[in-house]
Chain A
Amino acid sequence: EPEVTQTPSHQVTQMGQEVILRCVPISNHLYFYWYRQILGQKVEFLVSFYNNEISEKSEIFDDQFSVERPDGSNFTLKIRSTKLEDSAMYFCASRVGGLYNEQFFGPGTRLTVL
């Protein structure tokens, strides 16, 4: 069964460093999302992406964040200068399209900022 994959599973970085989190959505899906979950808290929406552009973003998704689909398969989230409070689990999700489609989530990347 097709699934969303994410790499790495765990990323440790120093404060101020740039990180790139990678996702491979399900191949025929057209809509892509990033969410994050700080330990013990809710899953929070960051950004949605369709047709090579951001379709919606939350207040969390400030200028330090960017997303890209550099080729036909990868979907990346870049944090330019990480802060301690960026430590969280980051989930990528994708869906086919249309109003009713399920969003399928990847296993997540645990980002630890020291």
Chain B
Amino acid sequence: SQQGEEDPQALSIQEGENATMNCSYKTSINNLQWYRQNSGRGLVHLILIRSNEREKHSGRLRVTLDTSKKSSSLLITASRAADTASYFCAPRGSQGNLIFGKGTKLSVKP
């Protein structure tokens, strides 16, 4: 299975701190995508990193990908209370569908 497994399952930090979430997967991928989900709401696409990329930035987000270790990380710098949400990595395999893990539940306290 290409399922992404996020770690930790829950993370609680203070506003202004950085949050790092990790993801591992099992088989080869074409790309890996990170999503955010606020409670009971839809999935918001954050960033896509291709299998031939090692690092990608988007605003306060930094994603890394290590295909040799089959792992990825999402760093949110200078976190805000509005960043409180669940974060999912979703590896994409050759068939195109995304496989989601259980996510990391991030709580940012003001």
Which A positions have Cβ atoms within 8 angstroms of B?
31, 33, 35, 42-45, 48, 55-56, 58, 89, 91, 93, 95, 99-108
How far is B96's CA from A101's CA once the two chains are assembled, in angstroms? 10
Interchain CB contact under 8 A, B98 and A103: yes
Chain B residue nearest to A107 in the complex (CB): B42
Task: Name the residue among A33, A45, A91, A95 with the largest chain B CB count within 10 angstroms.
Answer: A45
How far is B95's CA from A43's CA once the two chains are assembled, in angstroms? 17
Known: A42-B102, A99-B31, A100-B31. A48 touches B97 (CB 8 A): yes
Interchain CB contact under 8 A, A43 and B45: no
Known: A42-B101, A43-B100, A56-B95. A103 touches B42 (CB 8 A): no
Inter-chain CB contacts under 8 Å: number: 59
How far is B48's CA from A104's CA once the two chains are assembled, in angstroms? 11
How far is B29's CA from A70's CA once the two chains are assembled, in angstroms? 32
Interchain CB contact under 8 A, A104 and B45: yes
Chain B residue nearest to A3 in the complex (CB): B42
B contact residues around A101 at 8 Å (CB): 48
Q: Does B87 touch A at the CB level, under 8 Å?
A: no
How far is B31's CA from A43's CA once the two chains are assembled, in angstroms? 18
Known: A100-B31, A100-B50. A45 touches B43 (CB 8 A): no
